[in-house]
Amino acid sequence: MTAPVRRVFLTPAILLMITTFAVPMIIVGVYSFMSRGAYGGVTPPFTLENYTRLFDPLYGVILLRSFWIAGISTALCVLLGFPLALFIAQSGSRKNLYLSLVILPFWTSFLIRTYAWMFLLRDTGLINTILQSLHLIGAPLPMLYNDGAVILGLVYGYLPFMVLPLFATLERLDPSLLEAAADLGARPLETLWRVTIPLAAPGVRAGAILTFVPCLGTYLTSDLLGGSKTILVGNLVQNQFTTSRDWPFGAAASLVLMAVAILLMFAARRKGEDLL
């Protein structure tokens, strides 16, 4: 294909990516080194203060907590997602149906799925109502507005992100390897531990990155299920750009989030693995 023809196909995307991705990121990058203006906005002088503030104890705790919650949620997604992916990969002709059943909730409104847990977990929600009517508990259990609820919401929301790449690697797994392990006297669990799981490592890595990055930057889940108690870095960023109007500080926090996402992506790329 000749160069001018190629240009016609690629130009709209190039223009779009420059204006809505490259330029905004550069603006955020520049803002992160500036000072807060008197009425919001940004002004010179250039400073590193936004970054040092991000790592001082007050905000460092938020950063650490975000990593902690994202890490726990990702680990739970691996633990819960692996057997499910294994089940789908081994289910022969029904594979596509079972896979669709995982994808379906993933595409049907993250917001509403988060709200569904508010409905279940709140003091007068279904779980507390049932437990109380069975006289198993006297007072309602405080299940909503804490870290546990946030982790639950994240696991519920991002489990499909984990299952898809896991399924992709497990499906490609050569069944003769498993037969060989069995022939050599390995019990099923031993085969699982010593053959299947090591061979699925690329899928685990891809899934872990696809889960960890959005969990780390979560805003919606922590806001709705964590209430005002669970402030994570995503909420911090949102806050700086809305109510607090400290754009430079919010920009610095965004760039830290972005840096983590890029680092993880390159770590996966280095190993020659495709995430999607």
Considering only residues 58 through 77, tell me which ones interact with other proteins, judged by CB under 8 A. Answer: none
If one asks whether residue 140 binds other proteins (CB under 8 A), the answer comes out as no
Task: Rank residues 25 and 180 by Cβ distance to other proteins and give the closer one.
Answer: 25
The residue range among 57-65, 83-91, 168-176, 197-205 that interacts with other proteins, by the rule CB under 8 A, is 83-91
Which H or E element spans position 130?
A: helix 126-133
Which H or E element spans position 128?
A: helix 126-133
For 189, the token pair is 């669990």
Q: Which residues pair with 36 in a beta bridge?
A: 42
Residue 55 has phi, psi (to 5 degrees) of: -100, 5
The residue range among 52-60, 174-182, 184-192, 196-204 that interacts with other proteins, by the rule CB under 8 A, is 184-192
If one asks whether residue 267 binds other proteins (CB under 8 A), the answer comes out as no
> Which residue has 């000749």 as its token pair?
2
Task: Rank residues 37 and 147 by Cβ distance to other proteins and give the closer one.
Answer: 37
Q: Which residues pair with 43 in a beta bridge?
A: 35
Rg, the chain, Cα only? 23
If one asks whether residue 52 binds other proteins (CB under 8 A), the answer comes out as no
If one asks whether residue 16 binds other proteins (CB under 8 A), the answer comes out as yes
If one asks whether residue 186 binds other proteins (CB under 8 A), the answer comes out as no
Query: What is residue 69's three-state secondary structure?
Result: helix
Amino acid, res. 132: Q
The residue range among 51-59, 87-95, 135-143, 170-178 that interacts with other proteins, by the rule CB under 8 A, is 87-95
The residue range among 49-57, 134-142, 197-205, 208-216 that interacts with other proteins, by the rule CB under 8 A, is 208-216
Task: Rank residues 169 and 225 by Cβ distance to other proteins and give the closer one.
Answer: 225
d(CA 70, CA 76): 10
- Range list of β-strands (E), the chain: 35-36, 42-43
If one asks whether residue 137 binds other proteins (CB under 8 A), the answer comes out as no
The residue range among 53-61, 167-175, 194-202, 212-220 that interacts with other proteins, by the rule CB under 8 A, is 212-220
In 3D space, the residue among 105, 222, 104, 204 whose CA is nearest the CA of residue 154 turns out to be 222
Measuring CA to CA, how many Å separate 258 from each of 28, 97, 102, 200? 11, 35, 28, 27
Q: Is the peptide bond preceding residue 45 cis, with omega within 30 degrees of 0? A: yes
Site for other proteins in 23-42 (CB under 8 A): 23-25, 27-28, 31
Contact residue for other proteins among 192, 195, 197, 199 (CB under 8 A): 192
Site for other proteins in 107-126 (CB under 8 A): 107-120, 122, 124-126
Contact residue for other proteins among 37, 219, 245, 273 (CB under 8 A): 219
If one asks whether residue 136 binds other proteins (CB under 8 A), the answer comes out as no
Contact residue for other proteins among 35, 47, 238, 244 (CB under 8 A): 238
d(CA 149, CA 121): 8
In 3D space, the residue among 150, 170, 167, 163 whose CA is nearest the CA of residue 71 turns out to be 150
The residue range among 71-79, 134-142, 193-201, 220-228 that interacts with other proteins, by the rule CB under 8 A, is 220-228
If one asks whether residue 234 binds other proteins (CB under 8 A), the answer comes out as yes
